[in-house]
A and B are shown apart, each in its own frame.
Chain A
């Protein structure tokens, strides 16, 4: 059973870079032809897909965030990471890591989510 776990600072100052890591357990991040995504949800609001990475390193980003987002993968650690630069209060949200197969773009693996607050 594949499990995902987000980790990283819960508080980030405005204009700084938000950095989160997702650790995949119960299976290899390189196997099964999966894409690994970051999704966020501001309090009381809906879900926003941030972007994803394949184990080859190829990425796709939400056009609205593309200029500020970098997603990377470390297969040796079975982890993938998110960096979001120049954050503002509008980036305060619960951040989820999630996975979907390369053949079906639905998310069948989710982390529990981690709250990141942008505040000075």
Chain B
């Protein structure tokens, strides 16, 4: 299986801050990486696919970058609605999809 490791596991930030979350794959996954946002009691919501493609309707303050084994999700200016947990997911290994452990973005 391809292991996905996110860092940090928790991040404290203020409204307006620039926030960066890292996701590392245990082997190269090219650009086959997605990012999701999950709020308490809700299903995850797709934000970004193919490492840097923004899902329709997702605010442009969200951006993704990276390829191979290292990826980042950046929120350019954190908004109150962005406090949530973020997960990366690889789909290079098409028959064994795996998620990262999550990064919780908390209010500082």
Residues from chain A with Cβ under 8 Å of B95 in the complex: 60
- Which B residues between 24 and 53 are near A, CB-CB below 8 angstroms? 32, 34, 36, 42-46, 49-50
Contact-residue size bin, chain B (C-beta under 8 Å from the other chain): 20 to 34
A105 in contact with B94 given A46-B87, A46-B101, A48-B99 (CB within 8 Å): yes
For chain A, the count of residues having a C-beta within 8 Å of the partner chain is 22
Give the CA-CA distance A62 to B95 in the complex, in Å. Answer: 8
14 further contact pairs, Cβ within 8 A, besides A60-B95, A104-B49, A108-B55: A37-B97, A47-B89, A47-B99, A48-B99, A49-B97, A49-B98, A49-B99, A63-B1, A96-B43, A104-B91, A105-B91, A111-B43, A112-B42, A113-B43
27 contacts between A and B (CB under 8 A): A37-B97, A46-B87, A47-B87, A47-B99, A48-B99, A49-B97, A49-B98, A52-B97, A60-B95, A60-B96, A63-B1, A64-B1, A98-B43, A100-B91, A104-B50, A105-B94, A106-B34, A106-B49, A106-B89, A107-B34, A107-B44, A107-B46, A107-B89, A108-B55, A110-B44, A110-B45, A112-B43
